[in-house]
Amino acid sequence: MIFFFKKPKIIVDCFTTRPDVYEHAPINYAYKFYPNWWKNTSSTFKNNFFKYPTIKKCNGIIDTYQQGFIIPLWNDFSFKVENKKINWQHSDKETSCEIHDYRQWESYADMNKYYNLKIVSPWIAKCKSDVNFYFTKPFWNHPLSTPYHILSGVLNFKYNNATNIQMMINIHEDYDYTIQALTPMAHVIPLTEKELIIKNHLIDEFEYKKIHVATTYIKTFVGSYSKSINNTKKQEKKCPFHI
């Protein structure tokens, strides 16, 4: 007798209150975002009498885009660097940015050469499974000449629903730059073999706040996130229905 077992799944629910973002810049599976330059590249080239593969045949790239989901930029984002100072503007006039005090990251980068900026995402994500996700830059969707770096990290959407874009922007010379709407900004890869299911939801402000409040942290000066996770796990263990 042959038994067929369904591959276990993890579901990530993504929520936004903005109809424009929901309709035109949805979170989607990474395979939907292969770069145009890659799709337009010939798969082989001829050297004398023989054919050789190009980057189009690179399994490292192909397999990367078979994993996880991507968050595209939902509007044009322009910034101007002048005299080591930066100004920015979003085309939707609604998205906001936040910064971290340079003393929080000065051991990583020179404040005279880089500026930290966080684009506040209109999406929050929720996953009932206790699964880590690798949040990183979609490297192949960004030209090597880009004057910014999107920072990587590991998230767990059971405890943290934020999908904000953390950036380090070069400020060692003056220039203007625009990141166009729909540019892939974050590649989020589940660190599990389970099948990923993405579901997008358009909700009102009340529901949004309910979900967001459910994953807020204990208000401490240091270590809020870690302490909140540990506290949640302790509460789950006390629950008689916890599995």
For the chain, 243 residues long, the average pLDDT of each consecutive 10-residue run is 72 98 98 97 89 94 97 98 96 95 94 96 96 97 96 95 96 97 98 97 95 66 62 59 50
Q: Compute the distance between CA of residue 23 and CA of residue 25 in angstroms, rounded to an integer.
A: 6
Angle at 146 between CA 142 and CA 150, to 5 degrees: 70
Distance from C-alpha of 243 to C-alpha of 236, rounded to nearest angstrom: 9
pTM over 0.75? The answer is yes
Is residue 229, in this structure, part of any structural domain at all? no
Range of the domain at 183: 9-42+52-221
Q: Is residue 231, in this structure, part of any structural domain at all?
A: no
pLDDT at 212: 80
Strand partners, 134: 154, 189
Q: What is the pLDDT of residue 74?
A: 98
Q: Is the residue at 172 inside a domain?
A: yes
Is there a domain that residue 84 lies in? Answer: yes
Whether residue 212 is contained in a domain is answered as yes
Residue 151 belongs to a domain: yes
pLDDT at 214: 59
- Asked if the structure places residue 242 within a domain, the reply is no
Name the domain count of the chain: 1
Cα gap 203→222, rounded to integer Å: 32
* CATH code for the domain of 172: 2.70.40.10
The pLDDT of residue 48: 83
Residue 177, domain member (yes or no): yes
